[in-house]
Amino acid sequence: MTDFVDGWILGHTLGEGAYGEVKLVINKATEEAVAMKMVDLSKHPDARRTVRKETTIHRMLSNPNIIQYFGQRSEKNMEYIFLEYASGGELFDKIEPDIGMPKWEAQKYFRQLISAVEYLHSRGVAHRDLKPENLLLDENDNLKVSDFGLATVYRLQGKERSLDTRCGTLPYVAPEVLERPYQAEPADIWSSGIILVALLAGELPWDQASAECPEYEAWKNGKYMSVTPWKKLDKFSLSLIKHILVHEPSRRFKISEIKKHAWFRDNFSEDGNPIERDVVDGLRAKRFHKDEEEVLMRTCLSQPELPGKETNGLSTFTIEERPGFSFSQPAHMEDLLLSTQLQTLAYTQTQTQTSLSTFQKMVRRMTRFFVKTECDTTVKRLISCLKKESYTYRINECGIITISSMDRRKMPLVFKINIHEMDGKILVDFRLSKGCGLEFKRRFLKIKEKVDDIIARDSSNHRQVS
């Protein structure tokens, strides 16, 4: 870790995306933390407009289930966006591949997701890239929607427009988005329904919602009950999903209807049986201040789809061309962080190390483990495993192993292995760079199984490690 500005330390990478990295930034005195998204404009000259649009939208939002925006700093060739740090990690990390999670837990996260989406729509904002990789968890295990890089304003001052940008991540994209134009709200609701399937079944139902996909055609024609993931789900769960994943947007459940459905309304106990409890209400939207409306009108409606490729007069964004950033604890510190005169703090080396060790333990993720072997031996075992699995990999000068592969859908899957010493032990930390989170989790579990003999049993549990 290195000093970023006086009194602040630049920590490890939290996530990556097409335009740069997201880093952890820690205050040495208070141990408060934020996520800092770094965009290198010299490498990505088209990113400036995207950043401007993303921050314009994000600063208008304030909801407990949406990552909080603190501010930004601009330099000659760099843009820094400061966001709430979600110390609970990514939601996809809690989904067991091909299994999912308990129904009561899926219900909890789905309720929070719907609350966030309802709030966004009340503000006239469409997210357009909802997926587990863009859903984070705070220290209290509450869901936080992140990554507004593809978000847009579709309703302002009572006027609503249709959208025509083909964007998102294919398995989560509504069928009408592939054809265009489309309405914003049903498209986000569709993506939420796919997320619910992933939570309950641990897999995605299809590669894309189009006639070219046999799995989707079977679903659309009602010939799906004997195949996975549907045969894993009980009739109660399916009764809600069948109302959300409806091909025609006009017939698809609205959020108000989702919230009235018994699966959403009645709480589940840990044994999977419903128990009575009040329905979870969405949050009422705040009104825009007049000058905020004017800013959004100029930024979003004059530049409705950024960045894009012109195709037949339409601005389009290639599906999966832009991998989502993973932002990952509340720190109400925008005035401190964005101040040009941050106070210099006199801290001893010992105190600083203690502080940083605390933060290294904060991020809770399952895709990491301690090992009993030394660093060199650990690297050799991992490389041997990667060779046997015919992975393409490379090691950089910092010792980070980058693995490139293809997932089940023949889409790129890239993840990294960081090996470093922490509290006198060797930590092996896997992190997704690009691709499907569930597929990444499958690969991690397979690699972990092959190096099982070197894992330190007393600390391999992710809740202890993290």
Q: What percent of the chain has pLDDT over 70?
A: 77
Residues 97 and 58 both lie in one domain: no
Q: What CATH number does residue 445 fall under?
A: 3.30.310.80
| 409, part of any domain | yes
How far is Cα 328 from Cα 344, in angstroms, rounded to an integer? 26
Whether 349 is in a domain gets the answer: no
The answer as to whether 321 is a domain residue is no
State how far the Cα of 7 lies from the Cα of 29, in Å rounded to an integer. 7
Same domain, 209 and 151: yes
Is position 443 within any domain?
yes
pLDDT of 272: 66
CATH number of residue 264's parent domain: 1.10.510.10
Query: Does a structural domain hold residue 343?
Result: no
pTM recorded for the entire structure? 0.77
Asked, for residue 96, whether it belongs to a domain, the answer is yes
Choosing from 129, 138, 147, 188, the catalytic residue is 129
| Same domain for 96 and 77 | no
Provide the strand spans (E) within 229-337: 267-268, 274-275, 309-311, 314-316
| Each residue's pLDDT tens digit, 282-318 | 333 333 444 544 555 454 544 444 333 333 332 333 3
- Identify whether residues 415 and 297 lie together within a single domain: no
Catalytic residue status for 129: yes
Q: Could you give the residue ranges of the DSSP H alpha helices within 169-234?
A: 175-179, 184-201, 214-220
Question: What is the token pair recorded at 43?
Answer: 């490498």
Predicted local confidence at residue 383, as pLDDT: 94
Contacts of residue 28, Cβ cutoff 8 Å, sequence gap at least 6: 7, 8, 9, 345, 347, 352, 355
Write the DSSP symbol of residue 254.
P
Question: Are 18 and 167 members of one domain?
Answer: no
Domain around 198: 91-316
CATH number, domain at 51?
3.30.200.20
Residue keyed to tokens 């050799």? 380
Looking at the structure of the chain, the number of domains it has is: 3
Do residues 251 and 117 both lie within one domain?
Answer: yes
CA distance 316 to 274: 44
Low-confidence ranges of the chain (pLDDT < 50): 1, 276-290, 292-293, 297, 299, 301-362, 459-466
CA gap 360, 90 in Å, rounded: 16
**In-domain check, residue 347:** no
- Are residue 287 and residue 213 in the same domain, yes or no? yes
> Do 236 and 110 fall into the same domain?
yes
392 and 269 part of one domain: no
| Element containing residue 428 per DSSP (H, E) | strand 425-434
Residues 82 and 99 in one domain: no
In-domain check, residue 359:
no
95 and 81 within one domain: no
